[in-house]
Amino acid sequence: MSTLDLGVLISGRGSNLLSILHAIGAERLDARVRLVLSNRADAGGLVHAKARGVHTAVLSHRDYASREAYDEALVATLREAGVTWVVLAGFMRIVTPVFLNAFPGRVINIHPSLLPAFPGVHSQAQALQYGVKIAGCTVHFVDSGTDTGPIISQTAVSVLDDDTEETLSARILSAEHTLLPRVLQWIAQGRVTLVPADENRRARVVIHQEE
């Protein structure tokens, strides 16, 4: 068992950040949130973090000439805070290899679909437009693609006949709040192994049973 030193990156209201902080407070997650970092000064999650005594920082991507330059600044800020694991929790930026190489195999993302279905933005609307009966959420390792990294775990959510994008999104978000802290605790327990790709299979994740 190890205590994770987390950096949580957000762009909005930070509800998944709150789920992490609640899990830590309830002793369901062995982690410390070392820093909450946003690309937007008006992100609501910053208010939640400050109210709970968590350090915050804002780095606007508009202040940097390139994605790589921005990611270099992100990395420096996270490292200075003592972060070793990074959670993208509603961070509306695609990170570059500069960022991923700084935290190899230690960047995870929460996405509101059952990947590989419906990557990118507006996943819930895509699910409704396609007429699927099961939607859900995915926690995965981040790679250089858009929501293409190895899947760690998923939770299914039924799509109801009268669902709107708003109602489906709310139920998926509730599932995210349970799934993300659970996966982080598996990582803290040493139960998550990232198996590199070989000539027969792409990179994948093995979840070990709790001892």
Query: Which amino acid appears at position 124 of this protein?
Result: Q
Would you give the DSSP letter of residue 131? T
**For this structure, is 48 an active site residue?**
no
CA distance to 6, 11, 58, 133, per residue, from 81 (Å): 9, 19, 13, 43
Q: Quote the tokens at residue 34.
A: 């070392």
Residue 125 CA to its chain's centroid (Å): 20
Q: Say how many Å lie between the first and final Cα of the chain, rounded.
A: 11
Residue 187, strand partner residues: none
Q: Point out the catalytic residue in the list 111, 122, 177, 208.
A: 111
Alpha carbon distance 141, 73 (integer Å): 21
Strands (E) located in the chain? 4-10, 31-38, 56-58, 85-88, 107-111, 134-141, 151-158, 192-195, 204-207
Active-site positions?
111
